[in-house]
């Protein structure tokens, strides 16, 4: 392994050599001979060449010859499309680079590539060509298999993976047409040829219950089974807290406290307690002490790092920790002793935390409450519910009071609260969606959020001033260009935002959200405001949280399902015993940057998988409404068409090609679709009366068309009760036949394309 300083010196030596005027491209082997590289240094020489490739300084052409790359060559991630062309995303740059189909050089979706920018293209979007593929981004693909006499091929579920994968007969693993399979790519193809692969797993037939979601689980590489080493460690975890584990902890089992969660929640990692003396509220946020059982470096810990977070899909949860912990000894179940890490806060009538302390505690939850039960007490004042919970009712009422104070304090400083409608998809035993119910945040949901937020802020500020290594939750300020664009757009509706010197205060966006409340343009402007902001991530520096308008923020309250929370619990507990010694400080400073980065990446993966499952199930649900008229709002506009969101949160597209009365183009500056001749325009946020014309579960898309003005059908309002839709055996058979015909047509098209 070359030392960094020596590596940099040798990189400069080789780069200077290939950059000389008289240099003619030669192969690496020839270069080693020319430069008289000793035999024992040849492996190091190749390492240096690989490093220059990764830096985007050189490329190796199809003949294996090394060439220098100009300053117009950059490194990025290739994003493929179904039509063959693609885009390259470059870290830190706002716009993607368009790559025509004839310039992809065989790059596939998610490959790390070298892209050369075309200086002659001066349009809004830069255009380029792929000059080198540094790293393949996809080695395993999930898709649908089609069998031929002597071979098979797989069409990827990911539409951005444009090429079908050829499967030799000996690697088909007895798969039949219509099977969902997992394929390992053995040859990525060159010169326009399709990739080649081998089937490593058959998930089942496309119509088998559960196979659809399992396909997404495999496609995103979500781990389901825990390794044997992890399960062996779990076997030694007790079902109840042993007496020796209680020693040295603050015993607060006599303190009245409850958990408040959804009805179906099983991993209860937070409990709350509240009392009041004079004008001071004594709030306790008690979090399951998961780090007591998941020790650093253990098999459980290593697996938790790999997973990063629990993933919540429509029909299953893929947990970060095994159920024996997440639903057992680490879950704050009522009536049993549990270990916790508690943050006790004294909060005044203005919502200011005037004092706090953190303690390792022994707790016993008085009652497990649901959001519905608490809502009935503090909002509906339901007599039966109040009678049932007796002694707890005054505490719930005090919680509602404190939550309002905390929320008002956040509002005054500029915290932004987006309240987009959420939904819950209900499945029948066969995994078919039969209803989509709106999920509303009640006061009960909000008060728990308020308490968790103040605990997270308090912990983050404490450890910032301790100057301790830590993991923070960071939400950076928006890009000035996006905010400026938002400001121009909202001026059309009579709204404005004050922008300072290339920055904006979150209070300005909060005021905007408040002003548009209840207006026709509320949903449209709220969405655009959200899109103007950056994604939150984990960092080792305390960089602030723009959306919450706070300097200090971390994730402390969910160690059962988020690894950063578990990690900082360890740091907190070590710091409580004594200040971190230099050796432990150095240890955390070494490991935390990688943990913050991987946790952010794994969080993105989980979010994407959850979205894909929801989109797929919503498409499947909407199949029963094909031909029906509905009414929604235009939620997005692109060059391809307009997205319309229905009251049930399902979203579909009206494609430009379906607008027959004119040629429509996308006015990006004003977020509208405009007819070239009629000048008719469709604006973001407008109401739209549509007809459902088709769904595709495979691509997770729903197609709409504008309903005719003379159509007298009453629009479906999204609130009526829909009878469970169960297809007949004949319908299932017809659907399977239709799918097989589609696969056969695609197979023939692929064969013809290969011949060409």
pLDDT at 711 over 70: no
Confidence of residue 547 (pLDDT cuts 50, 70, 90): very high
Residues 283 and 181 in one domain: no
pLDDT at 521 over 80: no
Domain containing residue 125 = 73-135
Which range, of 501-510, 518-527, 651-660, 745-754, averages the lowest pLDDT? 745-754
Residues 290 and 405 in one domain: yes
Three-class SS of 599-663: HHHHHHHHHHHHHHHHHHHHHHHHHHHCCCEEEEEEEEEECCEEEEECCCCCEEEEEHHHCCCCC
Residues 179 and 292 in one domain: no
- Report d(CA 613, CA 618) in Å as an integer: 9
pLDDT at 739 over 60: no
Burial of 209 (0-12, 13-18, 19+ CB in 10 A): middle
Residue 555 in any domain: the answer is no
If you average pLDDT over residues 563-569, what whole number do you get?
A: 97
CATH code for the domain of 15: 1.10.10
Which range, of 471-480, 677-686, 734-743, averages the lowest pLDDT? 734-743
Residue 554 in any domain: the answer is no
Which range, of 149-163, 200-214, 343-357, 571-585, averages the lowest pLDDT? 149-163
Q: Are 146 and 743 within 8 A, CB to CB? A: yes
Which pLDDT value is given to residue 721? 32
Structure tokens at 368: 């497990």
Structure tokens at 512: 């905007």
Q: Give the pairing of strands 701-706 and 651-655.
A: parallel
If you average pLDDT over residues 386-410, what whole number do you get?
A: 95
More confident residue, 672 or 454: 454
Question: Percent helix, strand and coil across the chain, each rounded to 5?
Answer: 35, 25, 35
Confidence of residue 13 (pLDDT cuts 50, 70, 90): confident
Residue 89 in any domain: the answer is yes
Of 135, 153, 169, which one is at a domain's C-terminal end?
135
Which pLDDT value is given to residue 161? 82
Share of the chain above pLDDT 70, in %: 91
Residues 174 and 323 in one domain: no
If you average pLDDT over residues 476-490, what whole number do you get?
A: 85
Residues 236 and 319 in one domain: yes
More confident residue, 56 or 617: 617
Beta bridge partners of 675: 664
pTM of the entire predicted model: 0.82
Residue 507 in any domain: the answer is no
Residues 115 and 190 in one domain: no
Residues 127 and 11 in one domain: no
The position carrying tokens 């839709």 is 725
Q: Are 683 and 675 within 8 A, CB to CB? A: no
pLDDT at 719 over 50: no
Cα of 623 vs its chain's centroid, Å: 26
How big is the chain by its Cα radius of gyration, in Å? Answer: 29
Confidence of residue 2 (pLDDT cuts 50, 70, 90): low
Q: Are 232 and 200 within 8 A, CB to CB? A: no
Residue 638 in any domain: the answer is yes
If you average pLDDT over residues 637-660, what whole number do you get?
A: 90
Which pLDDT value is given to residue 347? 98
* Identity of the highest mean pLDDT range in 94-103, 490-499, 600-609: 600-609
Which pLDDT value is given to residue 136? 83
If you average pLDDT over residues 607-618, what whole number do you get?
A: 94
Of 30, 52, 68, which one is at a domain's C-terminal end?
68
Helix then strand count (H, E) for the chain reads 18, 34
Which pLDDT value is given to residue 250? 97
pLDDT at 732 over 50: no
pLDDT in tens, 273-309: 999 999 999 999 999 999 999 999 999 999 999 999 9
Which SS3 state, helix, strand or coil, does residue 199 take?
strand
Cα of 166 vs its chain's centroid, Å: 31
Residues 126 and 154 in one domain: no
pLDDT at 82 over 60: yes
Q: Are 218 and 181 within 8 A, CB to CB? A: no
Residues 212 and 250 in one domain: no
Residues 394 and 264 in one domain: yes
Of 202, 219, 236, which one is at a domain's C-terminal end?
219
pLDDT in tens, 693-710: 999 888 889 999 998 766
Confidence of residue 726 (pLDDT cuts 50, 70, 90): very low
Residues 156 and 209 in one domain: yes
How many structural domains compose the chain?
5
Cα of 628 vs its chain's centroid, Å: 33
pLDDT in tens, 263-274: 888 889 999 999
């Amino acid at each position: 392994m070359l030392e960094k300083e020596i590596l940099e010196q040798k990189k400069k030596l080789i780069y200077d050599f290939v950059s000389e005027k008289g240099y003619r491209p030669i192969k690496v082997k020839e270069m080693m001979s020319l430069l008289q590289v000793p035999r024992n240094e040849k492996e190091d020489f190749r390492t240096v060449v690989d490093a220059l490739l990764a830096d985007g300084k050189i490329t190796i052409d199809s003949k294996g010859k090394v060439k220098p790359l100009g300053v117009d060559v950059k490194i990025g991630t290739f994003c493929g499309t179904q039509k063959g062309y693609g885009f390259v995303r470059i870290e830190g740059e706002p716009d993607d680079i368009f790559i025509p189909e004839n310039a992809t050089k065989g790059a596939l979706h998610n490959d790390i590539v070298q892209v050369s920018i075309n200086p002659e293209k001066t349009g809004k979007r830069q255009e380029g060509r792929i000059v080198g593929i540094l790293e393949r981004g996809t080695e395993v693909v999930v898709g649908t298999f089609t069998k031929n006499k002597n071979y098979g091929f797989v069409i990827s579920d990911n539409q951005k993976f444009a090429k079908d994968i050829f499967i030799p007969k000996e690697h088909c693993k007895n798969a039949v047409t219509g099977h969902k399979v997992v394929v390992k790519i053995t040859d990525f193809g060159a010169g326009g040829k399709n990739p080649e692969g081998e089937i490593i797993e058959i998930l089942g037939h496309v119509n088998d219950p559960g196979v659809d979601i399992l396909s997404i689980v495999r496609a995103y590489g979500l781990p389901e089974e825990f390794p044997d080493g992890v399960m062996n460690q779990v076997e030694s975890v007790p079902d109840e807290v042993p007496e020796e584990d209680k020693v040295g902890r603050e015993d607060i089992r006599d303190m009245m406290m409850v958990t408040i969660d959804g009805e179906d929640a099983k991993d209860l990692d937070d409990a709350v307690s509240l009392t009041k003396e004079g004008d001071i509220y004594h709030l306790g946020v008690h979090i399951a002490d998961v780090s007591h059982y998941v020790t650093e470096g253990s098999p459980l810990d290593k697996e938790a790092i790999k997973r990063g977070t629990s993933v919540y899909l429509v029909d299953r949860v893929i947990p970060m920790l095994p159920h024996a912990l997440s639903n057992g000894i680490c879950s704050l179940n009522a009536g049993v002793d549990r270990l916790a890490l508690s943050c006790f806060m004294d909060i005044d009538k203005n919502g200011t935390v005037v004092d706090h302390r953190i303690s390792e505690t022994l707790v016993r939850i008085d009652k497990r409450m649901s959001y519905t039960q608490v809502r009935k007490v503090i909002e509906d004042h339901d007599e039966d519910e109040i009678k049932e919970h007796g002694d707890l009712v005054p505490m719930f009422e005090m919680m509602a009071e404190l939550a309002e104070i905390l929320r008002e304090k956040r509002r005054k400083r500029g915290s932004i609260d987006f309240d987009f409608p959420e939904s819950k998809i209900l499945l029948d035993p066969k995994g078919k969606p039969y209803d989509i119910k709106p999920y509303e945040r009640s006061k009960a949901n909000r008060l728990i959020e308020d308490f968790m937020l103040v605990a997270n802020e308090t912990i983050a500020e404490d450890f910032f001033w301790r100057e301790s290594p830590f993991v923070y939750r960071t939400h950076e300020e928006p890009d000035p260009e996006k905010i400026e664009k938002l400001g121009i757009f909202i001026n059309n509706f009579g709204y404005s935002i004050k922008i300072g010197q290339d920055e904006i205060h979150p209070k300005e966006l909060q005021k905007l959200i408040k002003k548009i409340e209840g207006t026709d343009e509320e949903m449209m402007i709220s969405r655009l405001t959200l899109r103007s902001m950056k994604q939150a991530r984990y960092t080792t520096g305390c960089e602030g949280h723009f959306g919450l308008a706070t300097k200090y923020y971390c994730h402390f309250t969910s160690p059962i399902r988020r690894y950063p929370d578990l990690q900082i619990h360890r740091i907190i507990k070590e710091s409580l015993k004594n200040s971190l010694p230099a050796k432990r400080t150095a240890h955390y400073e070494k490991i935390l940057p990688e943990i913050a980065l991987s946790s952010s990446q794994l969080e993105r993966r989980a979010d994407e998988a959850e979205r894909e499952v929801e989109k797929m199930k919503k498409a499947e649900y909407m199949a029963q409404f094909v031909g029906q008229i509905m009414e929604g709002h235009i939620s997005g506009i692109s060059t391809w068409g307009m997205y319309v969101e229905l009251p049930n949160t399902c979203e579909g597209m009206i494609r430009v090609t379906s607008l027959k009365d004119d040629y429509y183009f996308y006015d990006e500056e004003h977020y509208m679709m405009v007819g070239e001749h009629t000048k008719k325009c469709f604006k973001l946020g407008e109401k739209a009366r549509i007809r459902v014309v088709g769904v595709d579960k495979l691509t997770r898309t729903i197609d709409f068309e504008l309903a005719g003005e003379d159509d007298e059908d009453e629009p479906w309002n999204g609130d009526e009760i829909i009878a469970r839709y169960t297809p007949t055996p004949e319908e299932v058979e017809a659907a399977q036949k239709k799918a097989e015909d589609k696969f056969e047509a695609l197979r023939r098209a692929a064969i013809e394309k290969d011949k060409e």
